[in-house]
Amino acid sequence: MAERTLIIIKPDAIQRHLAGEIISRFEKKGVKLVAAKFMQISEELAGQLYSVHRGKAFFEGVVKYLASAPLLVMVWEAEGVIDMARRMMGATFGYEAEAGTIRGDFGCSRGYNLVHGSDSPESAGREIKLFFSADEIVDYTLADADWLYGKND
C-alpha cells in the first residue's frame, strides 16, 4: 500500500538554490510527487508543524527559521516512503549526517538543515493536513510505474 510523507524544502535550501537538487533526488529514486506549494508560512503554522517540540530550547528558533522566508511544501508517495525519505535526508544536524544524504552532502549547520520529512505515519497524516486539503493531492499514475515498482517474486 502506497504511503505518503510531507517533505518541506526549508528556507535555507530555497535561498541556497538547492530546491532542484533535493527534488531531483526524490524524483530519481522513483518516488511520486502528488502535491506541492511554494509559500511563506506564519510562525503559527510553523509552531503547529513542530508542536511536539513546544517547550524545548530550540522551539522558538526553529519556528522563526521556518517562517523567515519562502519554502516549498510537498507530498511524495511510495511504498515505505516515510522511512525511505528520512534515510535520504540523513541525521538532523548536517555535521553529523552521513555523506550521500541530503543533509550530509549540502549542509554542516545545526538547526538549518535544508529539509523536513515526516517521521511516522501518524505525523505524516497530521502534517499533510496542515498544508493540503484532500482535493489538492493529485491522484495519477506514473507512466513508468511498472518498471519503477516492479516485483519479481
95 binds, among Mg ion, ligand IDP, none (CB under 5 to 8 A by kind): none
5 vs 113 by CB, closer to ligand IDP:
113
Q: Which residue among the candidates 8, 13, 116, 127 is catalytic per the annotation? A: 116
Q: Which residue is nearest to ligand IDP (CB)?
A: 111
Q: Does the annotation count 17 as an active-site position?
A: no
Per-residue interface string for the shown chain with Mg ion, residues 83-122, x marking contact by CB under 5 A? ------------------------------------x---
Measured CA to CA, the distance from residue 85 to residue 70 in angstroms comes to 22
Q: How far is CA 141 from the centre of its chain?
A: 21
How far are the Cα atoms of 12, 14, 25, 40, 132 from residue 66, in angstroms, in the given order? 9, 11, 22, 8, 17
Q: Residue 23 CB, nearest distance to ligand IDP (Å)?
A: 18
35 vs 85 by CB, closer to ligand IDP:
85
120 vs 138 by CB, closer to Mg ion:
120
What is the bridge-based pairing of β-strands 32-39 and 71-78? antiparallel
Q: Residue 121 CB, nearest distance to ligand IDP (Å)?
A: 15
Residues 6 or more apart in contact with residue 146 via CB below 8 angstroms: none
Which residues of the shown chain bind ligand IDP in the complex (CB under 6 A)?
50, 53, 58, 61-62, 92, 110-111, 113, 116, 119
Residue 144: count other Cβ atoms within 10 Å of its Cβ: 10
Per the rule left: phi > 0, alpha: psi between -120 and 50, beta: everything else, 139 is beta
- C-beta of residue 115 within 8 angstroms of C-beta of residue 10: yes
5 binds, among ligand IDP, Mg ion, none (CB under 5 to 8 A by kind): none
Catalytic positions are 116
